[in-house]
Structure 1
Amino acid sequence: MATDSLKVLTDKSEVFLKKFENGIGKFSANALNKHVALYSHLLQEANSIANEFSQYLDNWPSFQNTEAAEESFKKELVTSKIGQWFSLYGKIASHELYFSSLGRNGNCEGKIKELLEINFDSVVRFKLDFKIKALYSTGWVWLIMDHYTGKLFNLSSNREDAFPFSGMSPLLAIDLAEHAYESDFGSDKEAYIEEFFNDLDWKEIEKNLPIM
């Protein structure tokens, strides 16, 4: 694939399905498997667009001969295909971060604990800040490191396809769409958030810290 094409993304579904085959804490295997299936569908859509974009690039010289065809191509590509891919990428990347963070007993230790204490005064206050944002968000909440200041903060969005801006490294993400929690927790969003904290793998989360 050409390096200037939209990126074809690696499907990690099998890795996540194996990880979740017995469930995680109060997250049932059935609910997690359905969530991974949604992620896989999003990824297939994104890769279909990426492959189509690559074909457009290969055929670009043929568009140069007809001005109308060229303009039609540009309009479709710029306003639709590229925008669709980046919208899908936001969902995919956040889901991968979310799935990767689950899997242990929620015990926070090591360098990431030190950073949380420096930036939030304590792990407890970090969780409270994160939880309040999550309760009133319908998209995502991420724990972010700002490359310019080195500080950690929690960033929320009500858009399911959003993803943190450049200059930031997302370390942790929670999915706040109803499909993430209603199967196991019904409408009890707070119980879902608390269980999320209980099942975090902070050693895995620490691996997302950037090398600065």
Structure 2
Amino acid sequence: MYNHKPLPFDKELEGISSKTIETHHGKLYKGYVDKSNSIKERLTDIAKSDNPEGNQTYSELRSLKNGESFANNGVYLHEKYFDILGGDGKSTGELAEAISAKYGSVEQFQKYFTACAMAARGWTILAWDANVGELRVFNCDAHNHGGIWGAIPIITCDVYEHSYFMDTGSDRKTYIDNFFKNLNWEAANELFRKAQELKI
């Protein structure tokens, strides 16, 4: 069962309006939660049926499995996105140190991350790749396209237009700047700490 989790912050964000957050969290993210539950229920029925059937050209099972990864990742990525908002944007802690070690400085990382986010169609994610034990930036053009297995999201930025269009129109760059101004580095550091514990 997937649950619609409450926002982890109750403050006004800088440059990201309450209306945008209300629509993004209360409608779009909730929609992925609801669809994930519907898909899970139907897949459970099929898995328990006497003769489950699939076809690579078209079948209900194929459509459900495609929808499953899209909707489930829509839930997970939105939760990671909201989890790291509500901060003051001041870089600190082990994550900032690791970023500086890899990219030269937090400022240089933000330039690179921003360039990646300007090139993405869906998400840009700083993740801990447990396969190789290092931080990497990934672009996802859809919830289920662009990431790799074994990579744990640390800083997750939604760059679909619904994340910023009501506030900055087509000016994505300003939205990304605002995203970093509201980044909760304490929350990101906790995600980083937990991610490094994963051994695969």
Q: Does TM-score exceed 0.5, indicating one fold?
A: yes
Matched residue, 1:31: 20
Query: Which of 119, 141, 154 is the equivalent residue of 1:158?
Result: 141
Query: Could you list the runs of 4 or more consecutive aligned residues of structure 1 that deviate by over 6 angstroms after TM superposition?
Result: none
* Deviation for aligned residue 1:158: 2.2
* Deviation for aligned residue 1:116: 0.6
8 Å Cα contact 2:139-2:147 kept in structure 1 = no
Q: TM-score, normalised by structure 2?
A: 0.88
Q: Structure 2: which 5+ runs fail to align?
A: none
8 Å Cα contact 1:91-1:162 kept in structure 2 = no
DSSP-derived class of the 2:191 partner: coil
Q: Percent identity?
A: 24
Q: C-alpha separation between the residues in 2 aligned to 1:43 and 1:161?
A: 15
Per-residue CA deviation, residues 43-77 of structure 1 (Å, 9 max, x unaligned), is 1011101011122233x23x3xxxxxx5xx33435
Q: Structure 1: which 5+ runs fail to align?
A: 1-7, 64-69
CA RMSD, Structure 1 to Structure 2 (Å): 1.7
Q: C-alpha separation between the residues in 1 aligned to 2:140 and 2:146?
A: 9
Q: Which has the larger radius of gyration?
A: 1
Describe how 1:1-212 pairs up with structure 2 within 5 A: 8-12=1-5, 15-16=6-7, 19-20=9-10, 22-36=11-25, 37-58=27-48, 60-61=49-50, 63=51, 70=52, 73-75=53-55, 76-162=59-145, 164-209=147-192, 210=195, 211-212=197-198
* Deviation for aligned residue 1:19: 2.9
Q: C-alpha separation between the residues in 1 aligned to 2:123 and 2:45?
A: 33
* Deviation for aligned residue 1:175: 0.9
Matched residue, 1:67: none
Q: C-alpha separation between the residues in 2 aligned to 1:206 and 1:10?
A: 24
* Deviation for aligned residue 1:10: 2.4
